Chains A and B, each alone.
Chain A
Amino acid sequence: AQTVTQSQPEMSVQEAETVTLSCTYDTSESDYYLFWYKQPPSRQMILVIRQEAYKQQNATENRFSVNFQKAAKSFSLKISDSQLGDAAMYFCAYRADSSYKLIFGSGTRLLVRP
């Protein structure tokens, strides 16, 4: 069965600094997708970034980028120039290409210090 692990329950970063959130996953599938979702206090889930496993290039969205290490089954999220609005729960998620179901990690709470 596929699993997603986030080993950091909480992380803290100074405003304008950079922070990296960790995620590892386990799967026997060769084709899959990985996601990072943000859940602010409003509880609305927001897609931050998506990575297709067949792509070697790491995905980037403005201040958000990932370090995708397929062999190590690692998918970390780097947030550059952190802003107060980045404070939220961040969930790593996996989806096999053969399914539409998302499997979520346990989440990392990100605190941003002004």
Chain B
Amino acid sequence: GAVVSQHPSRVICKSGTSVKIECRSLDFQATTMFWYRQFPKQSLMLMATSNEGSKATYEQGVEKDKFLINHASLTLSTLTVTSAHPEDSSFYICSARRGVNEQFFGPGTRLTVL
């Protein structure tokens, strides 16, 4: 299957700082990428859909000014958690769409805000 990478895999930051997470499709072009959040022992919750060259579409209840998404190229989408607080600590997963019916997931990023 296709490969999607995320960087960093783990990040610890102080409250009030901003953190950027990168999602890359390594061997295919992805016009659409998705960002999910997963709390411990819970399911994946879609945060936003990222389309190359246009603004991201956020799910209801997700603060777009808090979670900034940029999809600058067909292989890269970034999620920036601005002014992070302890309640933002979570596991963030991206996925990238290839073709009509294939989605490939990144390995996830564990964010811990102190």
A positions within 8 Å CB-CB of B = 33, 42-47, 50, 91, 100-107
Q: Show the binding face of B for A, using Cβ within 8 Å.
A: 1, 32, 34, 38, 42-46, 49, 91, 93, 95, 97, 101, 103, 105, 107-108
With A and B bound together, what is the CA distance between A91 and B105 in angstroms?
14
Whether B43 and A45, one on each chain, are in contact in the complex, defined by CB atoms closer than 8 angstroms, is: no
Q: How far is the CB of B45 from chain A (nearest CB, A)?
A: 8
CA distance A6 to B27 in the complex (A): 34
Q: How far is the CA of A80 from the CA of B45 in the complex (A)?
A: 29
Please tell me if the beta carbons of B91 and A33 are within 8 angstroms of each other in the complex.
Answer: no
Q: Name the prevailing secondary structure of the A interface residues.
A: loop
> In the complex, are the beta carbons of A44 and B44 less than 8 A apart?
no
Q: 16 other contacts beyond A43-B108, A104-B44, with CB at 8 A cut-off?
A: A43-B38, A43-B93, A44-B105, A44-B107, A44-B108, A45-B44, A45-B95, A91-B44, A100-B34, A100-B49, A101-B34, A101-B49, A102-B46, A104-B43, A105-B43, A107-B42
**Bound complex: CA of A103 vs CA of B36, how far in Å?**
11
Report which of B42, B95, B101 forms a contact with A106, defined as CB distance below 8 A: B42
- Beta-carbon nearest neighbor of B107 in chain A: A44
Which 6 residue pairs of A and B lie closest in terms of their CB atoms, listed nearest first?
A: A45-B105, A104-B43, A43-B108, A104-B44, A106-B43, A44-B107
Which of chain B's residues have a CB closer than 8 A to the CB of A44?
A: 105, 107-108
Residue in B closest to A93 when the chains form the complex, CB atoms: B44
Q: Are A107 and B43 in contact (CB under 8 A)?
A: yes
B38, B101, B108: the one within 8 Å of A33 (CB): B101
